[in-house]
Amino acid sequence: MSEDAVRDNEQQLLWLAGGLALLAAGFLYFAGWFGGFTAAQAVSGHFPGWFWESLTVLGDERVLLALLLPFCRRYPKVFWSIVVATVIGALLGRGIKIWLDMPRPAAVFAAEQITIIGSRLTSKSFPSGHTISAVTFAAVWLGMFGWRKMWPLLVVAGLAGFSRVAVGAHWPFDVLGAAVIALLAAWVGLHLARRWRWGLRIRPHRGLVCVAAIAVATLPFDGQGYPDSIVLRVSVCLWGLAGFAVHYLLPLVRGGWRGQDRFEA
């Protein structure tokens, strides 16, 4: 895809972020910070707990890295952009969480009033970190390859965000705000990655991919409080490590990548 097309896609990320920000502001004005939670949980109650656990772990960075690993060598710019954007989104999200320290649903409602799936969390609600991770991941792909091909990723990211309400970990406004932050982080990450190309050098790229593979290898052993997501975690772990072995370990064993300093511009 041409640079002009990529810039157009990135501009659309800003428009989407602006639209979601207006929606979040309207939601906050009419429904309040804690609004919509009961209705969202009523809808989510029609689906089993394992379904929401599997969706919510899509916001785990390790799961996203596992999905990405088989494509890192073919799309190094995407990988590097996701790394940069994810760091930006994580820093913003964590900083806001610590600064605001908003209560989670489990701290406001009695136990019999809500459904809690997984760990019972009570503090640092806004914004949803899982939503930031999932939407940032999808937004970078959208920015690189356009909406016609990649819009399903945004739908899945939206479902992952909704799952945070379904499992009782976040308010709907936490998810909306997180999506805005993620879109802005993706936009900034795409711009920074295009100018700071350190991650496109072969050695840093391989180092980052190795770190990602190590993180992915922990998925079967750590579900972060969602044990019923084990099938998804094991599946994506095998997918990611298989891609890592095929595209990185085997070429190194065969002596590949020698004499190359960076990827094609």
Q: What is the per-residue pLDDT across 51-96, written as a single tens digit (0 to 9) for each?
A: 999 999 999 999 999 999 999 999 999 999 999 999 999 999 999 9
The CA distance from 11 to 113, in Å, is 42
Cross-strand bridge partners of residue 201: 262
Q: Are 153 and 42 in contact (CB under 8 A)?
A: no
Task: Give me the helices (H) in the chain, please.
Answer: 3-31, 37-44, 49-56, 61-68, 76-100, 105-108, 129-145, 147-166, 172-195, 202-216, 230-244, 250-253
- Mean pLDDT confidence for 120-131: 96
Residue 256: pLDDT band with limits 50, 70, 90: low
The CA distance from 125 to 96, in Å, is 10
pLDDT (tens digit per residue) in 103-125: 999 999 998 999 999 989 999 99
Residue 152: pLDDT band with limits 50, 70, 90: very high
Domain 3-253 falls under CATH 1.20.144: yes
Q: Are 117 and 52 in contact (CB under 8 A)?
A: yes
pLDDT (tens digit per residue) in 13-46: 999 999 999 999 999 999 999 999 999 999 999 9
Q: Parse the chain into domains and list their residue ranges.
A: 3-253
Q: Are 172 and 165 in contact (CB under 8 A)?
A: yes
Tokens of 126: 């806004």
Is the pLDDT at 9 greater than 90? The verdict is: no
What pLDDT was estimated at residue 265? 46
Report the interhelical angle of 129-145 vs 61-68 (nearest 10°): 30
pLDDT (tens digit per residue) in 191-235: 999 999 999 999 999 999 999 999 999 999 999 999 999 999 999
